[in-house]
């Protein structure tokens, strides 16, 4: 287990609560299966926004039209490039833990948030595992998005409140999944 993460988790533990596992998502820039859909869409969006803005500027269109395109260009640039860096930065500040009572998820890009899920009431748990033993564990129904798209969707600003809680892009995901299931049986 990671010593720094263990110290952060220890501050959150209740009396009699014991840490079973803690970890962090993989660091650095990361692609997910959902990017197969999202990257072409974001390139089209950004390309059209830049085309629009450059056309408006070069044709001498009214000032309002010049201003109108700027937010679309900025959103396009974020979707093509910026979201990868925002996701990497958010993962730097994220940690996950399993205790004898609950699952903890701490993270956030601009402010820290802590999510606590009781092992007693934990519903559906989904496992998505890659060949290199990394993957994602999703707690609850994925709803609108299939589980393989969840890490792409979570990098879109504002989507986190609609996505179910998850341990995203962790190492030895099968072992962590088995640890959670075993801890549930002991509660």
Q: What is the pLDDT of residues 112-135, one digit of tens each?
A: 888 999 999 888 899 989 899 999
Comparing 2-6, 140-144, 147-151, which segment has the lowest mean pLDDT? 147-151
Q: Are residues 57 and 83 in the same domain?
A: yes
Task: State the DSSP H helix or E strand holding residue 119, giving kind and residue range, or none if neither.
Answer: none
Q: Are residues 106 and 78 in the same domain?
A: no
Q: What is the pTM (predicted TM-score) of this model?
A: 0.77
Average pLDDT over residues 16-20: 92
Q: Are residues 115 and 177 in the same domain?
A: yes
Q: What is the largest CA-CA distance in the chain?
A: 70
Domain CATH number, residue 118:
2.30.29
Q: Are residues 13 and 51 in the same domain?
A: no
pLDDT higher than threshold 60 for residue 159: no
**How large a percentage of the chain has pLDDT more than 70?**
88
Q: How far apart are CA 108 and CA 87, in angstroms?
A: 10
């Amino acid at each position: 287990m990671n010593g720094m993460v263990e110290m952060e988790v220890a501050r959150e533990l209740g009396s009699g609560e014991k840490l079973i596992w803690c970890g962090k998502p993989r660091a650095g820039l990361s692609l997910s299966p959902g990017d197969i859909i999202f990257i072409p869409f974001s390139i089209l969006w950004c390309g059209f926004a830049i085309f629009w803005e450059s056309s408006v500027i070069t044709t001498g269109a009214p000032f309002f039209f010049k201003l109108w395109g700027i937010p679309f260009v900025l959103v396009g640039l974020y979707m093509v490039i910026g979201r990868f860096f925002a996701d990497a930065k958010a993962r730097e500040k994220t940690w996950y833990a399993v205790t004898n009572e609950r699952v903890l998820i701490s993270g956030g890009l601009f402010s820290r948030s802590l999510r606590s899920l009781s092992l007693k009431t934990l519903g559906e748990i989904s496992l998505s595992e890659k060949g290199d033993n990394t993957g994602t564990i999703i707690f609850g129904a994925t709803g609108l998005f299939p589980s393989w798209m969840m890490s792409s969707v979570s990098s879109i600003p504002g989507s986190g409140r609609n996505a179910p809680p998850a341990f995203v892009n962790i190492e030895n995901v099968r072992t962590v999944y088995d640890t959670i299931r075993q801890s549930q049986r002991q509660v």
